[in-house]
Amino acid sequence: MTRTQSALAGVFLAWIGHSSTALALDVTPLNPADYQSFVGNWTPADAPLCAAIGSAEAWNRVLHPAAVMGDRRPFAPPSEFWERHAVLLFARVVPGGGQASALRLAGAERSPDAIDIVVAVTPPPPSSWTMKSWLAVAVPKPLPPHVGFLENGKRICSLEPASGHWLSPAQ
């Protein structure tokens, strides 16, 4: 096997492993760069923001359009997306410059009455400015009664979307 064939086989196996995990868990990561939006402010800013977003209206409450001339990316998923999917979002204020690698989906655990999103947080080096970094996954509806977010193995947010508690902390 040539070096190129070996590298391609490794990429293919990594892709298969990633795809099968996402399909088995019914979790599809969203790429923040696909949307021309930013997460609105929340208090306290040193706490994470957790959201179980089930509609375009809820998306617009958490994420805001960042209109820039010439950019044609959508501000949000299309309206038909919300008929079958919800978005579980985790955001943190991080030092500027390294926000793209600050949050990583480490896993998802689902049971009939709960879903937990496991986030690995690796803060960038200190900087003179900060930025909001976010990670989101699409999951099939209906959402279970309990939605949790674990940060580096520690439960950091618990939501109950069916009871109206879909955002923490409130914006």
Per-residue pLDDT tens over the stretch 97-151: 765 678 999 999 998 899 999 999 998 888 898 989 999 999 999 999 999 999 9
| Global pTM value | 0.81
Task: Please give the average per-residue pLDDT across 30-59, as a whole number.
Answer: 92
Q: Of 152, 133, 117, 166, which Cα lies nearest the Cα of 31?
A: 133
Q: Could you give the CA distance from residue 59 to residue 76 in angstroms, rounded to a whole number? A: 7
- Length in residues, the chain: 171
Tokens of 143: 């959402």
What residues are paired with 84 via a beta bridge? none
Beta strands 103-111 and 154-159 are unpaired
Sign of CA dihedral 167, 149, 63, 87: negative
- For residue 161, report the phi and psi dihedrals to the nearest 5 degrees: -60, -35
DSSP secondary structure code for residue 47 in this structure: S
Residue % of the chain over a pLDDT of 70: 81
Q: Which of 28-37, 60-69, 87-96 has the highest mean pLDDT?
A: 87-96
Asked whether the beta carbons of 63 and 103 are under 8 A apart, the reply is no
The three-class DSSP label of residue 88 is strand
Q: Could you give the CA distance from residue 161 to residue 115 in angstroms, rounded to a whole number? A: 12
Q: Could you give the CA distance from residue 128 to residue 107 in angstroms, rounded to a whole number? A: 32
C-alpha of 168 from chain center: 14
